[in-house]
Amino acid sequence: MTHLPPAPLTGARLSLALFAMALGGFTIGTTEFASMGLLPQIADGLRVSVPEAGHMISAYALGVVAGAPMIVVAAARLERKRLLVVLAAAIALGNGLSAVAPGFASLTAARFVAGLPHGAYFGVAALIAATLAGPARRGRAVALVMLGLTIATMVGVPLATALGQAIGWRSTYALVVLTALATVVAVWRFVPPLPRPTGAGASARGELRAFRHGQVWFALGIGAIGFGGMFAVYSYIGEIVPEVFGLSMAAVPVALAVFGIGMTVGNLVAGRLSDWNVMGTVLLGLIGMAAVLAAFALTAPLLTGGVPVIGMIGLFLIATISQFLGPSLQTRLLDASPDAPSLAAALHHSALNIGNATGAWIGGGVIAAGLGYLAPAWAGAMLAVAGLVMAAAAIFAEHRAQERALI
pLDDT in tens, 219-263: 888 888 988 888 888 777 777 877 787 777 677 777 878 888 888
80 neighbors 306 (Cβ within 8 angstroms) = no
pLDDT in tens, 182-222: 999 999 999 988 776 555 555 556 566 666 777 788 888 88
The pLDDT, as a whole number, for residue 112 is 94
The pLDDT, as a whole number, for residue 65 is 84
Report the alpha-carbon distance of residue 200 to residue 195 in Å, rounded. 15
- With 0-12 / 13-18 / 19 or more C-beta atoms within 10 angstroms meaning exposed / middle / buried, residue 162 is middle
The pLDDT, as a whole number, for residue 99 is 94
User: What's the mean pLDDT in 24-32?
Assistant: 91
Q: With cut-offs at 50, 70 and 90, classify the pLDDT of residue 2.
A: very low
Residue partners of 383: CB distance under 8 A and separation at least 6: 225, 226, 228, 229, 232, 358, 359, 362
The pLDDT, as a whole number, for residue 24 is 94
Share of the chain above pLDDT 90, in %: 24
Q: What is the pTM of this model?
A: 0.75
**Mean pLDDT over all residues of the chain?**
82
User: What's the mean pLDDT in 158-169?
Assistant: 83
Q: Which overall architecture, per CATH, does domain 209-407 show?
A: Up-down Bundle (1.20)
Cis peptide before 341 (omega within 30 of 0): no
The pLDDT, as a whole number, for residue 16 is 92
Cα dihedral 162, 167, 169, 173, rounded to 10, equals -90
User: What's the mean pLDDT in 35-56?
Assistant: 78
The pLDDT, as a whole number, for residue 4 is 45
Question: Is it true that 1-197 and 209-407 share their CATH fold?
Answer: yes
User: What's the mean pLDDT in 370-394?
Assistant: 90
CATH of domain 1-197: 1.20.1250.20
The pLDDT, as a whole number, for residue 370 is 85
pLDDT in tens, 118-128: 988 988 898 88
In the chain, what are the domain boundaries? 1-197, 209-407
Share of the chain above pLDDT 70, in %: 88
pLDDT(305) > 70:
no
Could you give the maximum distance between any two Cα atoms of the chain, in Å? 68
- With 0-12 / 13-18 / 19 or more C-beta atoms within 10 angstroms meaning exposed / middle / buried, residue 91 is buried
Count the residues in the chain: 407
